Amino acid sequence: MRVVVDLTRCQGYGQCVFLAPDVFTMHEEALLYDLQPADERREHVLRAAAACPVQAIHLDRTASTPNDDREWAPVMEDGRIVIVGASLAGARAAEVLRREGFAGRLTMIGAEAGEPYDRPPLSKQVLTGQVPPEHTLLPRLREIDAEWLCGTPAAALDVAGKRVLLADGREVGFDRVLLATGTRARPWPDEAEAALEGVHTLRDARDAAALRRALGAGPRRVLILGGGFTGSEIASVCRELGLPVTLVERGPAPLHNAMGGVIGDVAAQLQREHGVDLRCGTTVTALEGDGGRLTGARLSDGSTIEADVAVVALGSVRNVEWLRDSGLAVGAWGVACDAGCRAVDSNGLVTDDVFVAGDIARFPHPLYEYQFMSLEHWGNAVAQAEVAAHNMVSDQAHRWPHLSVPVFWSSQFGVNIKSVGVPTFADEIVFAQGSRAERRFVAVYGYRGRITAAVTFDQAMWLEFYQRQIERAAPFPPDFRHVGGGADGGPVPARVPERLVATAGATVVVTGHDPAERRASLVHPG
Amino acid sequence: MNVLKQILDPAARPDPYRYFGALRESPVTVQEDGTYLVSTYREIVALLHDPRVSSDRRNLSAGAPAEQDDFNPSFIGLDSPEHDRLRGLAMRHFGPPHSPETVERLRPKMLELTTALIDALKGRTRADIVDEVAYPLPVAVICALLGVPEEDEPRFHALADEVVETLGPGEEDRAERERARKAAAMELSRYLAGLAEARERAPRADMLSGLITYRGPAGGMTRDEAVATSVLLLIAGHETTINLIANGMLTFLRRPDLLRRLRDDPELIIPAVEELLRFEPPVQFVSSRVALDDITIAGTTIPAGAPIVLAMAAGSRDPAHVDRPDEFDVDRPRNEHLGFGGGVHYCFGAPLARLEAQIVLKELVRRLRGPRLVADPPPYRPSAVLRGPRHLVVEYDGID
Ligand SMILES: Cc1cc2nc3c(=O)[nH]c(=O)nc-3n(C[C@H](O)[C@H](O)[C@H](O)COP(=O)(O)OP(=O)(O)OC[C@H]3O[C@@H](n4cnc5c(N)ncnc54)[C@H](O)[C@@H]3O)c2cc1C
Ligand code: HEM
Ligand code: SF4
């Protein structure tokens, strides 16, 4: 059977670990699990899923579920919908289309052969060897009933002619299309160096299998290029496996790009305590090899590192090349769309039949001054896919805006790190609850006197409260009496990476819980 | 009469649910005594996760009705970080991450106890499910978990009964009951303190030994803390589990089709227990909260220092949260209920209680041939907070 936990929702109650300890494991609040447990475990897994207080555990639905949770009739019940990119966003959109009553033809086009699988485990339980890389298939939440064209990438999109062209020359016509081709790992820029044996990137299941083999072979040292979430998680796995590891990060601290320098410092300390040889403010200038095998690297500070495995974790590149001639607004940051997931063309006009979701999408967020953002978050891919699918079969009056506040999680060094909001959209940060020394805390970010984000280390239960504070643009710093200690000083500069600072104006608040009722409204000062 | 008074009236015990609609019409209401009553799902969940809400009654502003004058330092009445420290130390010997197998390992014991209790119903056609099954099981399980020796069980049992029997507000002879409860609790504490001392000298593989002897990097529990925790585990898990089992049998026996389905498909007991926790929750109200600051929720401001009561049973049947809330439906997808609370005080013993209820209800359904209710509604215990039948007499044709 297949299992996936929506870790965006999970609050670390650990009920699943109690009831199926051989499927779910937990370190403090960091949950890891087997995505395809043996059928003998079925009863335990059912117990766990039933017990989850926030119902975050999703399993295969074997019988096709009737559309009884559908609240209204779609305007588009038949015709042909094509989804390009058959991974998390694509698969979820397909399920929602069927849930919403779309009964027409559905075609899934995917570059990867095989069924959709989940990526977050690839840098966690798969790399440690707990779960084999081929055991990460996503559960089927409902029967999709689609035609799967997998193993061949799409090569072009003809918006006017309403067709997708495949790399093997086939053409697939559509009435509506969803673009969900995600991202790939940014390769090491020097092709010859990147081709050395021992140099890895991590994005798909094959990458994970190769890296797992390399780590399992007991390398003398692993070099990680980049201290973002992926690089940091891989460093964590290496230490768990007892492997010496050097992590080279250009910025002042790991996670600095996503969470700013204050949390970056906590992350740096965490890494050093776990024995990571952490080099910040440094870059790798060259990878070196001998006879086609990696032997080490040269760093910008003049030093050298000997390593037989290197992982290039320098962020990602959006899979948009195939859309270059489509006439859509496509760039390094993805495909631009409106908050309803409709693609925008290069003139800035919204299209009617082309929708975008997941890591590839670039959308304006009302809570963050309508700035366009691209999020590479599991939760965003799911939420946006649901909104996109809904809107694909709805008329204007019934469309939903994608207003969910971004939530991200990561598990590393035994800590469950979660964030809500956009931590880089901040000028100050305050440790609001818990204790920095114990690495159990809630840190709250503020921008011009309102709360814009929060980060928790093993304190996920409080996250939703801060999400509501973000939605109602509550004042920063939080000035209420509360439980949970947190006398860790007052607000300090958040030290976030440079970005365009928008002008002060109206404040946006978001109301409503379900996608159907979420609305943003402007609150003007004075 | 105001709605809450109607609900607290013993006459309402068999069906308090018919008043909940009226209660939910205003999500937050102030009672005469200054208590804020919250009855809608979203607002309850929000307050359970709101750091401005305390579980420590010492934060009540002067003049507010105090529930307890003596202070019991068990973690149910403490806030983070003290709560987290003690709960974490207790969890170390009960569940993940350090002891993920503890509850699972009790399963054979639970089945054995259940089998013996049901075997004892053989040779007749009438039994009281409360007194003969639902009641003895939870204490026996807690004894096994804590490590109360079998020869002490009768004494322990008697004290435990005394404590829980006298528990529960909203009744007439409150002062007297309160005195009796305190005396019994004191005696129970003394008993457990003696046992803890013995375990300190000669630890065994039980939870009490763990609580009293464990010393980690950040220290362990003091003896008082270990004893208070043991008393809490006993009390918090006792009447609640009895009521869940009794409410379960009652609900099943009222629905012959359901009973048939449960018999044909024993796996259904898993969602059935969740639905019970939603539909007939043993803990109807959580009445221990205090506002630390002014909290504006659903248009009402709860002032700092005010007591807050969360109407969990009303929240779990909030039509804004679940479809057809007053129907018992084992097929409900994504059943999120408030049966075990939420947030950092989420029931510590939930996995144990779930397993106990699943096992005993499954066995009762499987083994009782042709069971039927003798009285419907059955007589209820007086408490509106920890609500459940006092007796549940059933007739049956035989035991398989
Ligand atoms: C190692 C790793 C760890 C992660 N950990 C976390 C985490 O802890 N928390 C978190 O929130 N997020 C995490 N993420 C991010 C999360 O997995 C992504 O946000 C999510 O997978 C995005 O889903 P998607 O469907 O938009 O894109 P993808 O999953 O990237 O899927 C895109 C699919 O489109 C296919 N494709 C590409 N081009 C074409 C084409 N031309 N034609 C057809 N198909 C094409 C690709 O092969 C791929 O299958 C992690 C990602 C990785 C790689
Ligand atoms: C069906 C049975 C049970 C029900 C319905 C139930 C319900 C609850 C609820 C609603 C709370 C939250 C109280 C609050 O928020 O203030 C709670 C807390 C608690 N329960 Fe249970 N419970 C049950 C069984 C048990 C068992 C078997 C144990 C012990 C093994 C137990 C131990 C506790 C403890 C220790 C707490 C306090 C947790 C904390 O404050 O962190 N419960 N329970
Ligand atoms: S909240 Fe998370 S840890 Fe708790 S039961 Fe659900 S999935 Fe498991």
pLDDT tens digit sequence for A314-340: 999 999 999 999 999 999 889 999 999
> In terms of residues, how long is chain A?
526
- Which residue among A28, A465, A485 sits closest to B50, beta carbon to beta carbon? A465
pLDDT at residue A89 above 90?
yes
Query: Which of these ranges, A71-75, A252-256, A442-446, B370-374, has the smallest mean pLDDT?
Result: A71-75
> In terms of residues, how long is chain B?
400
Please give the full DSSP string across B7-42, using - where no structure is assigned.
HHSGGGTT-GGGGHHHHHHSSEEE-TTS-EEE-SHH
What pLDDT digit, counting tens, does each position of B340-384 carry? Answer: 999 999 999 999 999 999 999 999 999 999 999 999 999 998 889
CA neighbor of A12 nearest in space, from A452, A383, A440: A440
Residue A452 backbone dihedrals phi, psi, to 5 degrees: -120, -15
How far is residue A457's CA from residue A438's CA, in Å, rounded to a whole number? Answer: 10
How far is residue A433's CA from residue B52's CA, in Å, rounded to a whole number? Answer: 11
**What pLDDT is stored for residue A487 in this prediction?**
59
- At A375 the three-state DSSP class reads coil
Residue ranges of the domains in chain B? 3-399
* Token output for B83: 């709560």
How far is residue B158's CA from residue B177's CA, in Å, rounded to a whole number? Answer: 16
Mean pLDDT computed over A330-354: 94
pLDDT at residue B275 above 90?
yes
pLDDT at residue B4 above 60?
yes
Among protein residues, the one with the nearest Cα to ligand 1's atom 28 is A182
How far is residue B281's CA from residue B275's CA, in Å, rounded to a whole number? Answer: 9
How far is residue B50's CA from residue B40's CA, in Å, rounded to a whole number? Answer: 15
* Token output for B370: 């042709």
Mean pLDDT computed over B138-156: 89
Mean pLDDT computed over A195-222: 97
Alpha helices in A323-438 (DSSP H): 378-392
Where do we find the tokens 């760093």? A299
pLDDT at residue A309 above 80?
yes
Site from A18, A45, A439 to mutate, B interface, most B CB atoms within 10 angstroms: A18
Angle at A481 between CA A479 and CA A484, to 5 degrees: 115
| Ligand 2 midpoint to CA B287 (Å) | 13
* ipTM score assigned to the predicted complex: 0.90
Among protein residues, the one with the nearest Cα to ligand 3's atom 4 is A13
What pLDDT digit, counting tens, does each position of B91-145 carry? Answer: 999 998 899 899 999 999 999 999 999 999 999 999 999 999 999 999 899 999 9
A462 in Cβ contact with A443 (< 8 Å):
no
How far is residue B301's CA from residue B320's CA, in Å, rounded to a whole number? Answer: 22
Neighbours of A490 (CB within 10 A): 9
Long-range Cβ contact pairs of A147-151 (< 8 A, separation 24 or more)? A147/A105, A147/A106, A147/A107, A147/A108, A148/A86, A148/A107, A148/A108, A148/A110, A149/A107, A149/A108, A149/A109, A149/A110, A150/A86, A150/A108, A150/A109, A150/A110, A150/A111, A150/A112, A150/A113, A150/A114, A151/A110, A151/A111, A151/A112, A151/A113
Q: What confidence category does residue B170 fall into, taking pLDDT thresholds of 50, 70 and 90?
A: very low
Can you give the C-alpha Rg of chain A in angstroms? 23
How far is residue B328's CA from residue B18's CA, in Å, rounded to a whole number? Answer: 15
Question: Is any ligand 2 atom within 6 A of the Cβ of residue B95?
Answer: no
Mean pLDDT computed over A283-304: 97
Q: Which residue in chain A has the smallest CA separation from B294? A: A480
Neighbours of A504 (CB within 10 A): 10
**What is the distance of C-alpha A357 from the center of its chain?**
12
pLDDT at residue A24 above 80?
yes
**What is the distance of C-alpha B187 from the center of its chain?**
22
Mean pLDDT computed over A421-444: 93
Where do we find the tokens 């009863």? A43
* Token output for B60: 């009540």
Neighbours of A40 (CB within 10 A): 8
Question: Does the distance separating the beta carbons of A51 and B350 come in below 8 Å?
Answer: yes
Average pLDDT, rounded, for chain A:
92
Chain B interface includes A26 (CB < 8 A):
yes
- Amino acid, single-letter form, for residue B32: E
Chain A interface includes B51 (CB < 8 A):
yes
- Cis (ω within 30 of 0) for the bond into A121? no
Query: Could you say which architecture CATH assigns to the domain B3-399?
Result: Orthogonal Bundle (1.10)
Domains annotated on chain A, with CATH: 1-64 (3.30.70.20), 75-185+315-406 (3.50.50.60), 191-314 (3.50.50.60), 414-493 (3.30.390.30)
Among protein residues, the one with the nearest Cα to ligand 3's atom 2 is A10
Which residues 6+ apart lie within 8 Å of A130 measured at CB? A25, A32, A34
Average pLDDT, rounded, for chain B:
91
Most informative mutation of A52, A55, A418 for ligand 3 (most atoms within 8 A of CB)? A52
Question: Is any ligand 3 atom within 6 A of the Cβ of residue A94?
Answer: no
Which residues 6+ apart lie within 8 Å of B255 measured at CB? B328
Higher-pLDDT residue of B13, A485: B13
How far is residue A88's CA from residue A389's CA, in Å, rounded to a whole number? Answer: 13
Chain A interface includes B275 (CB < 8 A):
no
Most informative mutation of A4, A201, A378, A382 for ligand 1 (most atoms within 8 A of CB)? A378
Q: What confidence category does residue B317 fall into, taking pLDDT thresholds of 50, 70 and 90?
A: very high
